[in-house]
Protein backbone atom coordinates (compact mmCIF):
# COMPACT_ATOMS: atom_id res chain seq x y z
CA UNK A 1 0.00 0.00 0.00
CA UNK A 2 1.21 3.49 -0.87
CA UNK A 3 -0.36 6.79 0.18
CA UNK A 4 0.24 10.46 -0.54
CA UNK A 5 -1.63 13.72 -0.42
CA UNK A 6 -2.86 15.37 -3.58
CA UNK A 7 -3.48 19.14 -3.71
CA UNK A 8 -7.13 18.92 -4.74
CA UNK A 9 -10.43 18.28 -2.94
CA UNK A 10 -11.69 14.72 -2.66
CA UNK A 11 -14.51 15.24 -5.19
CA UNK A 12 -12.08 16.57 -7.80
CA UNK A 13 -9.69 13.63 -7.33
CA UNK A 14 -12.67 11.24 -7.47
CA UNK A 15 -13.75 12.64 -10.84
CA UNK A 16 -10.18 12.42 -12.16
CA UNK A 17 -9.94 8.74 -11.23
CA UNK A 18 -13.43 7.73 -12.38
CA UNK A 19 -13.70 9.80 -15.57
CA UNK A 20 -10.17 10.72 -16.73
CA UNK A 21 -11.38 11.65 -20.23
CA UNK A 22 -14.24 13.92 -19.11
CA UNK A 23 -14.13 17.47 -20.54
CA UNK A 24 -13.89 18.92 -17.02
CA UNK A 25 -10.83 16.80 -16.12
CA UNK A 26 -7.35 17.85 -17.18
CA UNK A 27 -5.54 15.09 -19.11
CA UNK A 28 -3.19 13.17 -16.83
CA UNK A 29 -3.12 9.46 -17.61
CA UNK A 30 -0.11 8.92 -19.88
CA UNK A 31 0.15 5.18 -20.39
CA UNK A 32 3.13 3.23 -21.69
CA UNK A 33 3.03 0.77 -24.62
CA UNK A 34 2.53 -2.26 -22.34
CA UNK A 35 -0.36 -0.57 -20.46
CA UNK A 36 -4.10 -0.34 -21.13
CA UNK A 37 -6.81 1.99 -19.84
CA UNK A 38 -8.15 0.49 -16.63
CA UNK A 39 -11.86 -0.06 -16.22
CA UNK A 40 -13.72 0.94 -13.08
CA UNK A 41 -14.81 -2.38 -11.53
CA UNK A 42 -16.26 -0.89 -8.35
CA UNK A 43 -16.89 2.59 -7.01
CA UNK A 44 -18.34 3.86 -3.75
CA UNK A 45 -18.39 7.64 -3.96
CA UNK A 46 -16.34 9.42 -2.74
CA UNK A 47 -14.02 6.95 -1.01
CA UNK A 48 -13.40 3.63 -2.80
CA UNK A 49 -12.53 2.70 -6.38
CA UNK A 50 -11.28 -0.55 -7.85
CA UNK A 51 -9.65 -0.46 -11.27
CA UNK A 52 -8.93 -3.39 -13.53
CA UNK A 53 -5.30 -4.05 -14.38
CA UNK A 54 -3.29 -1.54 -16.37
CA UNK A 55 -1.01 -4.28 -17.73
CA UNK A 56 -1.68 -6.69 -20.58
CA UNK A 57 0.79 -9.14 -19.05
CA UNK A 58 -1.13 -9.16 -15.72
CA UNK A 59 -4.84 -9.04 -16.67
CA UNK A 60 -6.15 -10.32 -13.32
CA UNK A 61 -4.48 -7.69 -11.14
CA UNK A 62 -6.62 -4.96 -9.59
CA UNK A 63 -5.78 -1.52 -8.22
CA UNK A 64 -7.68 -0.53 -5.07
CA UNK A 65 -7.87 3.22 -4.49
CA UNK A 66 -9.07 4.86 -1.28
CA UNK A 67 -9.62 8.60 -0.94
CA UNK A 68 -9.81 10.56 2.32
CA UNK A 69 -10.40 14.28 2.71
CA UNK A 70 -7.61 16.08 4.58
CA UNK A 71 -8.67 19.70 4.77
CA UNK A 72 -8.77 20.99 1.19
CA UNK A 73 -6.51 18.14 0.01
CA UNK A 74 -7.00 14.42 -0.57
CA UNK A 75 -5.06 11.51 0.85
CA UNK A 76 -4.96 8.87 -1.90
CA UNK A 77 -3.97 5.29 -1.05
CA UNK A 78 -3.45 2.53 -3.58
CA UNK A 79 -3.02 -1.20 -3.14
CA UNK A 80 -2.15 -3.51 -6.02
CA UNK A 81 -3.70 -6.97 -5.59
CA UNK A 82 -3.58 -10.17 -7.63
CA UNK A 83 -5.25 -13.57 -7.44
CA UNK A 84 -2.36 -14.94 -9.50
CA UNK A 85 1.18 -15.84 -8.57
CA UNK A 86 3.07 -12.84 -7.22
CA UNK A 87 5.47 -11.27 -9.69
CA UNK A 88 9.20 -11.29 -8.99
CA UNK A 89 10.67 -8.31 -7.13
CA UNK A 90 11.76 -6.56 -10.33
CA UNK A 91 8.26 -6.70 -11.86
CA UNK A 92 6.67 -5.71 -8.53
CA UNK A 93 8.98 -2.69 -8.39
CA UNK A 94 8.03 -1.70 -11.94
CA UNK A 95 4.28 -1.95 -11.23
CA UNK A 96 4.55 0.10 -8.03
CA UNK A 97 6.77 2.68 -9.70
CA UNK A 98 4.30 3.11 -12.55
CA UNK A 99 1.34 3.56 -10.21
CA UNK A 100 3.36 6.00 -8.11
CA UNK A 101 4.22 7.98 -11.23
CA UNK A 102 0.70 7.96 -12.67
CA UNK A 103 -1.01 8.92 -9.41
CA UNK A 104 1.54 11.02 -7.58
CA UNK A 105 3.22 12.77 -10.51
CA UNK A 106 0.92 12.85 -13.58
CA UNK A 107 -2.31 13.23 -11.59
CA UNK A 108 -0.74 15.66 -9.07
CA UNK A 109 0.68 17.85 -11.86
CA UNK A 110 -2.75 17.99 -13.55
CA UNK A 111 -3.86 20.05 -10.52
CA UNK A 112 -1.07 22.54 -11.18
CA UNK A 113 1.28 21.44 -8.39
- Model confidence band, residue 107 (pLDDT cutoffs 50, 70, 90): very high
For residue 62, how many other CB atoms are within 10 A of its CB?
Answer: 17
Query: Helices (DSSP H) in 1-113: which residue ranges?
Result: 10-18, 89-101, 107-110
For residue 22, how many other CB atoms are within 10 A of its CB?
Answer: 10
pLDDT for residue 101 is more than 80: yes
How many Å apart are CA 29 and CA 87, to the nearest integer?
24
- Model confidence band, residue 113 (pLDDT cutoffs 50, 70, 90): low
Give the per-residue pLDDT at 39. Answer: 97
- Predicted model pTM: 0.94
Mean pLDDT over the full length of the chain: 95
> Which domains occur in the chain, in start order?
2-110 (3.30.530.20)
Residue 94's Cβ-side half-sphere holds a number of Cα atoms within 13 Å equal to 12
Amino acid sequence: MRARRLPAPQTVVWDSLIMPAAPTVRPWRNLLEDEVEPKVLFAKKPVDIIWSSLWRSRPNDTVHLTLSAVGSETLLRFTLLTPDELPDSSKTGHLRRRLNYLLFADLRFSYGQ
